[in-house]
A and B are shown apart, each in its own frame.
Chain A
Amino acid sequence: MWVLAVRGWRRGRALVRWAPGAVCLGLPWPRCAATRGAAAEPWALARLYSSGDRKEKIDMSRFPVENIRNFSIIAHVDHGKSTLADRLLELTGTIDKTKNNKQVLDKLQVERERGITVKAQTASLFYNCEGKQYLLNLIDTPGHVDFSYEVSRSLSACQGVLLVVDANEGIQAQTVANFFLAFEAQLSVIPVINKIDLKNADPERVEKQIEKAFDIPSDECIKISAKLGTNVESVLQAVIERIPPPKAHCKNPLRALVFDSTFDQYRGVIANIALFDGVVSKGDKIVSAHTQKIYEVNEVGALNPNEQPTHKLYAGQVGYLIAGMKDVTEAQIGDTLYLHKQPVEPLPGFKSAKPMVFAGMYPIDQSEYNNLKSAIEKLTLNDSSVTVYRDTSLALGAGWRLGFLGLLHMEVFNQRLEQEYNASVILTTPTVPYKAVLSSAKLIKEYREKEITIINPAQFPDKSKVTEYLEPVVLGTIITPDEYTAKIMMLCQARRGVQKNMMYIDQNRVMLKYLFPLNEIVVDFYDSLKSLSSGYASFDYEDAGYQTAELVKMDILLNGNIVEELVTVVHKDKAHSVGKVICERLKDSLPRQLFEIAIQAAIGSKIIARETVKAYRKNVLAKCYGGDITRKMKLLRRQAEGKKKLRKVGNIEVPKDAFIKVLKTQPDK
């Protein structure tokens, strides 16, 4: 119980609410704390509520703008972001110090492997410093740039960040990506070198790296051990001293940024908001700048880190708002809320989530379709950035084409489906959204636009009707010990990467910047990079728009008949190798038949790869020993039964397994 409640503050909130045994579902934090049992010390509460009436609402007007600091912690995976956050919460009495908060253990496997926070969380810390009561809002962000839009929205609610770097590992790719997001948002950056207690810690080297890569003087680094609590207090000091208070005015009309939203099945959408101007309280009529819908505010409050209702929220503060929104798409991240009849200029930078990676998702067994459907619906309730289109494949049956922010986002989604909903699915090899600039007047009229996005290869327009094709590109950052540089550069080249920059961040660590076609890194780039650098290289990327690309549509043919499921859009230079792999996989998974099967990859009428499955010359069991024909009959009946489910391409019977083997995401051989 306790573990669930605490874990909920960062990323498991939704989980907590769904857990049937969790008593404090959706209740404000103080009451929830009371259920923790006799051992729980309410001393933290006592500090907040001297009257002892726990139901009394906090008066947020006690915190004028100059006493407010809004900040985030950003870090590479496992550099200690969660541990530092825990220490800060303990130090300010927000959570109980006597409990050991090992949240790291609760992370999903993909989160641990790739270093992401699925769901950003926020906590308000009350901190007394030199006689002044400060309100420090720790706005947690998803840690990965797949979610860079969400990160940037979270950061836009902040004035500063703590950039946590491991004293042993030093700067990693994600550190760089995160730093530049903060830098571009013009935030104060406080470098924090963590894990100085480790035996191999070399904080001086990391200081130099920070100076070299980010141009921050080394004396600005704070060296701590979040694990042991060493020097953590000075982090709070720095937050107060080095991060400016928000520029906000209570006198202006309400202008609030939605930087996160979650769905609660009893209370609807809970929007996390940062107030740039004005005041909001229960009963106010508010408008979404994006949807123009009007809502009445049912509840406002602070996040402690669970929702704690307050009378009002004031300019510069961060909290939550519940206003009868039924769907997370009504509270989109980046949207601006204002008071009805008092319109304001929306905050800049809003855009709808833009999926960058698409994959087909199908139930392994069609009888599981409805279960999977409901699982996907539940997961997307809390993640509006996943786009869902219904799709049907001749081979795999009814399913969906899902759009994700990035590959990691896709993996997390899939893993949560498996872990939280026990759904096993076939996930097809991810593709990226290509674009085509049309030249055919007829097509332009049909699509009503000149530039179209191609999600499904079947819609790929012929070259004769197109001025040019475009593919999405990303700017990748790789940080590696220099002994692996040569190998990594070869890998990048093989992935059509163009080198943009290369610098030594210290004596033997290199930072490489490459412009990659997104398609080249969505499948197994990360795994290849990790394996050829013995795990030492780190990688991250950010969106870099679209570039012209020579794309072609590749057909796969079985004895001359096109297999519709396997039509692929590829770059011209990659057609041969991709075609070869598909043909080989098909060869390995197509059962031999009574005639020869030619498997071909073709661009137009040109064959670029070919494999042959030879005809059966012998397929008969040698002997039915001692009259044991039961086994033989069983096998034959099963095969005959399976044959009924095969899809026929021409006169060739293709088992579902063969399609799965070709279409499914696979690690490199």
Chain B
Amino acid sequence: MTLPRVRACGWVAAAKAAQRRHQAEGAGGPRCPAPRSQRASLYIHWPYCEKRCGYCNFNKYIPRGVEEAAVRSCLVTEAQTLLLLSGVRRVESVFFGGGTPSLASPHTVAAVLEAVAQAAYLPADAEVTLEANPTSSAGSRLAAFGTVGVNRLSIGLQSLDDAELQLLGRTHSASDALRTLAEARHLFPGRVSVDLMLGLPAQQVGPWLGQLQELLCHCDDHVSLYQLSLERGTALFAQVQQGALPAPDPELAAEMYQKGRVVLREAGFRQYEVSNFARNGALSTHNWNYWQCGQYLGVGPGAHGRFLPQGAGGHTREARIQTLEPDNWMKEVKLFGHGTRKRVPLGELELLEEVLVMGLRTDLGITHQHWQQFEPQLTLWDVFGTSKEVKELLEQGLLLLDHRGLRCSWEGLAVLDSLLLTLLPQLQEAWQQRISTLVPRG
């Protein structure tokens, strides 16, 4: 690394101090007044895993040996290039996802963070999350990640039942998971999240609630509940297809979800998003940024980004995908400084659709102020206030439209995708009407 050592250490020390201040503030609060186009989150994809999990269809690879120095250098280069292209001045959060990024060396994480801090302003208290798997995360390694600037851990615990862990193809046991969790909490107090899956084949509601209760005795201030979705191409999908495993029962999954939400609420957690629960204000700022349709840069093989390439003279936000396969991605990064494979400009309507779809996933929903940032002319009332079908949803108590904005009710959040099938066409129609009234004037 060519970075001056002093500067790097300086950022890490400041980050350490800020970590302690940060906890009480929480996410979703007032942001820095810098223009939106100059702010972004950063997602770093580490594409390697030790072993293939039975449910996962992500872009990941099981390598025989990783040339980590080469990957590191490419991650650094691509982060620098994309920061330059985007004209982003302030990075608000960094998320190392994968794959299994806790398999990467802390040195690699450090190098990326240093590069970011050099190319843009990375506030000392910015959230820096690392996804960690229980087995790959011995306490000393986790501590090393902390030393280089990681200040939040997301642990892929998935289940506290050894048979289920085996079914999922995980390499850890329930006791591994709890031990890792305890170590993580010790190292990153108040800054540890755990994932718990629901709706596995043959899983029953009672035992699953038992797992959740047990988890509540050990967990920190952030829990994510994910329903298993069977993805084509995974081992689990094949097993269900062949009849070796029963298909997950959506009714049971729905019941687990509903009961799980209640249990977590009673334990003092706020469900701030469809799958995410936090107490003591420990919301994930990085994910919050996705739901608020803030900009984010995606670095690494197959990473997704959404930003305005201002540094390259762009005027429209783009959806970008990096090259999937790590070796090809590296070749491209070495040649061009980045491995962007696909750039799709987002139209105004498309962006609004994303604002709607993502925003409604949160408990705050879409506030009038938030909507106005993206669409100053058509208000939420203009778009949704007159529709008969929307009115039905409001009357059914699934949706709320009031002085605060548009949001799901407790019941509505669980069936958001059905609500969107009414809301999206309504938005499209309102947009078309706006366009047609604009044309004669213009």
Q: Does A626 contact B (CB under 8 A)?
A: yes
Asked if B353 contacts A627 (CB within 8 A), the reply is no
A629/B227 in contact, CB under 8 A? no
A345-367 contact mask (Cβ, 8 Å, vs B): 1 or 0 = 00000000000000000000000
The A interface is mostly helix, strand or loop, or mixed, namely: loop
Which of B257, B306, B418 is A594 in contact with, Cβ under 8 Å? B418
The answer to whether A632 has its CB under 8 Å from any CB of chain B is yes
Rounded to whole angstroms, the CA-CA distance of A614 and B97 in the bound complex is 38
Contact B226 A618 (CB under 8 A): no
The answer to whether the Cβ of A616 comes within 8 Å of any Cβ in the partner chain is yes
Is A637 an interface residue when CB atoms closer than 8 A count as contact? yes
Answer whether residue B241 sits at the interface, using C-beta atoms and an 8 A cutoff: no
CB <8 Å contact, B97 and A618:
no
Known: A625-B58, A626-B298. A636 touches B417 (CB 8 A): yes
Contacting residues, chain B, for A105 (C-beta < 8 A): none
A534-545 near B? 1/0 per residue, CB < 8 Å: 000000000000
How many chain B residues touch A (Cβ–Cβ < 8 Å)?
A: 50
Q: What A residues does B290 contact at CB under 8 A?
A: 624, 627, 629
Q: Per-residue 0/1 for A587-612: is the Cβ within 8 Å of any B Cβ (1 yes, 0 no)?
A: 00000011000000000000000000
Contact B418 A622 (CB under 8 A): no
Report if B304 contacts A (CB, 8 A).
Answer: yes
B157 within 8 A of A: no
A625 — which chain B residues lie within 8 A by C-beta?
Answer: 58, 97
Q: Is the CB of A633 within 8 A of B353?
A: yes
Instruction: Say whether B48 faces chain A, with CB atoms less than 8 Å apart.
Output: no
Q: Is the CB of A640 within 8 A of B251?
A: no
Residue of A nearest to B298 (CB): A627
Which residues from B are CB-within-8-Å of A619?
414-418
How many interface contacts (CB-CB < 8 Å) are there between A and B? 102
With A632-B357, A643-B425 given, is the CB distance from A627 to B418 under 8 Å? no
Q: A626-B303, A636-B421, A640-B420 are in contact. Are A594 and B296 (CB under 8 A)?
A: no
Question: Contact size class for A?
Answer: 20 to 34
Instruction: Write out the residue numbers on chain A whose beta carbons fall within 8 Å of the beta carbon of B424.
Output: 636-637, 640
B358 at the interface (CB under 8 A from A): yes
Task: Please measure, in the bound complex, the distance between the C-alpha atom of A179 and the C-alpha atom of B224, giving whole angstroms.
Answer: 77
Per-residue interface assignment for chain B, residues 234 to 275, with 1 indicating a CB less than 8 Å from any chain A CB and 0 otherwise: 000000000000000011011101100000000000000011
Point out the residues of chain A lying under 8 angstroms from B253, CB to CB: 618
Q: Is A486 an interface residue (CB 8 A)?
A: no
* Complexed CA–CA distance, A629 and B360 (Å): 14
Q: Which of B275, B303, B425 contacts A622 (CB 8 A)?
A: B275
C-beta contact mask, B296-331 vs A, less than 8 Å → 1, else 0?
101000011110000000000001010000000000
A616 and B254 alpha carbons, distance in the complex (Å) = 9
Q: Is the CB of B258 within 8 A of A626?
A: no
A625 to B60, CA, bound (A): 13
Q: Does B229 contact A (CB under 8 A)?
A: yes
A622–B226 alpha-carbon span in the complex (Å): 5
Residues of B near A627 (CB, < 8 A) are: 43, 290, 296, 298, 303-306
Most buried by A among B226, B229, B413, B424: B424
Quick check: A594 and B415 within 8 Å, CB to CB?
yes
Which residues in B have their C-beta under 8 angstroms from that of A39? none
Distance in angstroms from A309 CB to nearest chain B CB is: 65
Q: Is B398 an interface residue (CB 8 A)?
A: yes
Q: Is the CB of B396 closer than 8 A to any CB of chain A?
A: yes
**Which B residue's beta carbon lies closest to that of A642?**
B421
The answer for the CA separation of A626 and B45 in the assembled complex, in Å, is: 8
Residue of A624, A626, A629, A643 with most partner-chain B CB within 10 A: A626
Contacts of B350 in A (CB 8 A): 633
In the complex, the answer to whether B45 meets A617 with C-beta atoms within 8 Å is no
A-B contact list, 13 entries, CB within 8 Å: A594-B393, A617-B251, A618-B254, A621-B274, A622-B274, A622-B275, A624-B358, A625-B97, A626-B43, A627-B304, A630-B304, A636-B421, A640-B421
Q: Using a CB–CB distance below 8 Å, which chain B residues touch chain A?
A: 43, 45, 58, 97, 224-227, 229, 250-251, 253-255, 257-258, 274-275, 290, 296, 298, 303-306, 319, 321, 344, 350, 353-354, 357-358, 361, 392-393, 396, 398, 413-421, 424-425, 428
Known A-B contacts: A620-B361, A627-B303. Give 13 more (CB < 8 A): A617-B251, A618-B250, A619-B414, A619-B415, A620-B274, A620-B415, A622-B275, A624-B290, A627-B298, A627-B305, A629-B304, A629-B358, A636-B420
